[in-house]
Copies of this chain bind each other. A is one copy, B any other.
Amino acid sequence: MNAIVDPTGEVGAWWATAVSHMEPGIVELRGRPVQELIGTVDLTSMIWLMLRGELPDAARSALLQAALVAGVDHGPQAPSIAIARMAATCGVGLNNAMASGVNVLGDAHGGAGEQCVRLLDEVLRLERDGLEIAEAAATAVAAGPKYVPGFGHRFHPRDPRRDPLVSLAEQAVRDGVVPGDHLRAGLAVEEHLRSARSRPVPMNIDGATAIIYAELGFAAPLARGLFVLSRSIGILAHAWEESGSGRRNKGPVPRSIVPARLG
């Protein structure tokens, strides 16, 4: 506290935080001097530390890491990637290009993870209220939106990221690393959608990572936040590649194509 400029401490309190602390010569992250973390803690554990306040054990960190790696990129068709590439040709910094991509990771683009955690929470609540898990899944899906968050994909009949992520989650349950409730709920929703819908609606990356994040105890909104960290890597890679193309003001289609007139 500064006794002269901020005698009541109200200004310092306005920006109070448990995340980090800085004074001349000192940088503490979650109470730990930064110099003790550099070279000793891996990046995924650092993410955990910053969000949770403590370091994870190796098994939990590895499971989180698998989910983060899975979400890094999904190809140039994703709006976030296309936007970052266009931005990189407009004469702005790489950080601005990245922000432009991150900014669209909303409810319909990656944000589904957050909604999926809430759906699984609801399935588990219904189960605690006495429903069989299959019935709980059917009930929660019926009460939710048309697009079941975390399930189905406009491109993939089967998302190649589902199986390895679900396998790792199953192994973690067997090893006692995570409790397994959200995994059970997720598989029940998948099974329900398999039997109830005419065309398959398999679990996608948002669903598989939502299971892992929830099993590890992250709150629903962090399913989105963690995905942003993950996808930022792909966004950077694409923006950087495009910035080497020499293009200026890249539009969405080749210049010879004129968008049609509506109305």
* Residues of chain A whose beta carbon lies under 8 Å from any beta carbon of chain B: 1-2, 4-27, 29, 33-35, 37-39, 41-44, 46-47, 50-51, 53, 62, 65-66, 68-70, 72-80, 82-83, 85-87, 89-96, 98-100, 102-111, 147, 154-158, 160-161, 163-165, 167-168, 221-222, 224-226, 228-229, 232-234, 236-241, 243, 248-263
Q: Which of B232, B237, B258 contacts A23 (CB 8 A)?
A: B258
Taking the full assembly, how many copies of this chain does it contain? Answer: 4
Cβ–Cβ < 8 Å partners of A109 in chain B: 90-91, 249
Are B248 and A95 within 8 A (Cβ)? no
Contact status of A38 and B165, CB under 8 A, knowing A107-B93, A160-B25: yes
Are A38 and B92 within 8 A (Cβ)? no
A38 → chain B, closest Cβ, in Å?
4
Are B103 and A252 within 8 A (Cβ)? no
Q: Which of B82, B100, B229, B236 contacts A15 (CB 8 A)?
A: B82
Are B83 and A110 within 8 A (Cβ)? no
Known contacts A77-B252, A93-B107, A229-B232; can you find 8 more A-B pairs with CB under 8 A?
A10-B254, A12-B259, A21-B258, A24-B155, A43-B68, A50-B234, A93-B111, A154-B248
